[in-house]
Amino acid sequence: MRSAIFAIISVVLFGFAGQAIAQDAAVKAENEKNINLLRKDVRSAKKQLIAASMVLSDAEAQRFWPIYDQYAAEMEKLYTDRIHLIKEYAANQKTLTEDQAASLNTRSIDLDYSFTQLRKRYVPLFGKALGGKAQALFFQLDKRISLLIDLQIASEVPLVEQ
């Protein structure tokens, strides 16, 4: 099951990155619709992977999933910001100025920090719902999946040309 979910994530993200380059309005609108559907599939696949990888009692599940859904919604906002940043880079890639490059870099680092801060904010909430080991497992899974997503995105975004 894990390999199927990772394959879905990979296909979804490969499709996203290839569509980030500027296109005409009709194609861009259709691609935006497809990206949103694919992102929904990634969220679902991530949740399925976490559910399949964690053994939760009924009581733990009742405490865990509402917190997870809130956490996932906040994560989604950060991924939306990341997508906007990538789209901005893609739109300006050929004409990128020194100032634009510096701004994109700073904002990207700030976004990475926001992901870390969000995880840090949720550590006590998940710990209270699950206990230490299950909480640690959740964050391991979350981090691994996020790293896979980030790796796929990074591999598709062209490097800045000097």
Number of domains the chain is built from? 1
Please indicate, yes or no, if residue 161 is contained in any of the structural domains: no
pLDDT in tens, 90-149: 888 889 999 999 999 999 999 999 999 999 999 999 999 999 999 999 999 999 999 988
148 within some domain: yes
Residue 104 within a domain: yes
Residues with Cβ within 8 Å of residue 48, at least 6 apart in sequence: 1, 5
Which domain, by its residues, includes 131? 2-156
Does some domain include residue 162? Answer: no
Residue pLDDT, tens place only, 86-95: 889 988 888 9
Output the pTM of the full model. Answer: 0.79
Instruction: Answer whether residue 35 is part of any domain.
Output: yes
Alpha-carbon distance 21 to 19, whole Å? 6
